[in-house]
Amino acid sequence: MTAPLYIGFIPLVDASALIIAVDKGFTAAEGLDVTLVREVSWSNVRDKLNIGLFDAAHLLAPVAIASSLGLGHVKVPIVAPFNLGINGNAITVSPPLLADIQAEIEGDRYDPMATALALSRVVAKRRKIGAEPLTFGMTFPFSTHNYQLRFWMAAGGVDPDEDVHLVVLPPPYMVDSLANRQVDAFCVGAPWNSIAVDRGIGHILHFVSDILVRAAEKVLAIRQSWAEKNPEIVAALTRAAFRAAEFIEQPENRTEVARMLAHPERIGVDAEVIQRTLDGRLKISPDGTIRESGRYLLVAREGASRPDPVQAAWLYAQMARWGQTSVSPQALNTAKAVFRPDLYDAALGTSRAADLGSAGAIGAFAGPTFNPDDVAGYLASFDLSRRVR
């Protein structure tokens, strides 16, 4: 056994590869002595990873990039040898907002362009009658949730900084905030969307896979300096996470996996709610409407666990689009270098990414195909942005 490792996580379903790696014994089989530490905020996870209280962490992919670039916080280079999840978030709206959107929609309720255009008409009407701007909750300034909400509404002409309020809310507060009308909608990971639906106070409007075919959500984050000193531990951890991710993807293991994740020290909600997310079969309305998607949360399938630098570039592009940073070739390279398929391949003996098909690496519903080598050109094609020049 190695020296004890401390790994931080936030109780969300996309931490499952990490949790199962430890609780199913895959880390122990690699000779690793891992203690998982449940945390209450992304700021805590980031800070404890940065100062060395954690050896690794379940981290928002954009936070790993922001930390490596020194954005919004102290600069600590982070590497991600393993991707803990692709997609997995959803946008949930209050019943009145759903009714307003449905009253304005032209076209398919599941088409994000149709809903975004309807939202822009709702926003315009509210402004006309002097109603308060709509408030949208998301989990962190550097989060996929923030960028997914912004990408979606901006495509319909809604300016996320001017036309609505976008506020950070800790995930455990999301559902209550929607219930008492502090927010009209939110974008968050599992299990919180399902909990809002079960409580009868929210409707899942979109799976984020409606907005982007593939979006890197959380990564296994490690300080670069530590990873360089401990390459064998990094490889062993990557293998354990990989075996866990493969285990989770087997439908016959789902019940056991959901039960393990439901433990109060882990995610701490009903196993049945967790299993809905893993199966991609979600109740989207309090009336019991079910929606299925093979792309709701990808843990291992379609090469989801291999870090893809194109994803890092896309997230960096969103930071630049919304004024969190300016575009520079050096920063773009730093961002891409956070995602380390080479470490993944070294650990697992793999050598290349899975074929992503015609949708490409990102597959956004609006805008041009993302070109990771020309972020400035890509961003120039969007009317709405807060680019720092």
Partner 1 sequence: MSAEQSPKIVIVDESPIRAAILEEGLREAGFTGVVHIREMQSLLSRIYALDPDIILIDLENPSRDVLEQMFQVSRAVRRPIAMFVDQSDAASIQASVDAGVSAYIVDGLKKERIKPILDLCVSRFNAFAKLQEELERTKSALEDRKVIDRAKGILMKLKGLTEDEAYVLLRSTAMREKKKIGEIAQSIITASEMLK
Amino acid at 7: I
Q: Residue 38, interface with partner 1 (CB under 8 A)?
A: no
Q: Which residue has the tokens 């969307």?
A: 193
Please identify which residue in 72, 77, 95, 268 interacts with partner 1, judged by CB under 8 A. Answer: 72
Instruction: Considering only the stretches 90-98, 167-175, 232-240, 375-383, report the one whose residues sit in contact with partner 1 under the rule CB under 8 A.
Output: 167-175
Please identify which residue in 6, 77, 179, 182 interacts with partner 1, judged by CB under 8 A. Answer: 182
Distance CA 152, CA 110 (A): 13
Q: Residue 73, interface with partner 1 (CB under 8 A)?
A: yes
H-helix or E-strand spanning residue 208:
none
Instruction: Considering only the stretches 86-94, 138-146, 227-235, 352-360, report the one whose residues sit in contact with partner 1 under the rule CB under 8 A.
Output: 138-146
Please identify which residue in 38, 110, 114, 141 interacts with partner 1, judged by CB under 8 A. Answer: 141
Q: Cα–chain-centroid distance for residue 332?
A: 20
Please identify which residue in 123, 169, 208, 236 interacts with partner 1, judged by CB under 8 A. Answer: 169
Peptide bond into 191 cis (omega under 30): yes
Please identify which residue in 43, 102, 255, 289 interacts with partner 1, judged by CB under 8 A. Answer: 43
**Judged by CB, which is closer to partner 1: 168, or 380?**
168
Residue 244 CB-half CA count within 13 A: 31
**Judged by CB, which is closer to partner 1: 136, or 242?**
136
Distance CA 177, CA 79 (A): 34
Q: Residue 161, interface with partner 1 (CB under 8 A)?
A: yes
Q: Residue 140, interface with partner 1 (CB under 8 A)?
A: yes
Cα Dmax for the chain:
66
CA nearest 109: which of 284, 288, 296? 284
Q: Residue 133, interface with partner 1 (CB under 8 A)?
A: no
β-sheet bridge partners, residue 38: 9
Are 219 and 80 in contact, with CB atoms under 8 Å apart? yes
Least distance CB 250 / partner 1 (angstroms): 33
Least distance CB 288 / partner 1 (angstroms): 31
**Judged by CB, which is closer to partner 1: 75, or 109?**
75
Are 135 and 98 in contact, with CB atoms under 8 Å apart? no
CA 389 to each of CA 129, 247, 325, 327: distance values in angstroms, whole numbers, following the listed order? 36, 47, 10, 8
Helices of type H across 33-164:
42-50, 61-69, 95-104, 112-128, 144-155
Instruction: Considering only the stretches 118-126, 171-179, 310-318, 356-364, report the one whose residues sit in contact with partner 1 under the rule CB under 8 A.
Output: 171-179
Residue numbers 188-207 binding partner 1 by CB under 8 A: none
Q: Residue 225, interface with partner 1 (CB under 8 A)?
A: no
Least distance CB 46 / partner 1 (angstroms): 9
| 372 DSSP assignment | T
Are 29 and 190 in contact, with CB atoms under 8 Å apart? no
Residue numbers 255-314 binding partner 1 by CB under 8 A: none
Q: Residue 172, interface with partner 1 (CB under 8 A)?
A: yes
**Judged by CB, which is closer to partner 1: 181, or 259?**
181
CA nearest 204: which of 112, 134, 124? 112
**Judged by CB, which is closer to partner 1: 326, or 369?**
326
Least distance CB 318 / partner 1 (angstroms): 14
Residues that bind partner 1 (CB under 8 A): 40-44, 47-48, 50-51, 53, 72-74, 139-141, 161, 167-173, 182, 323-324, 386
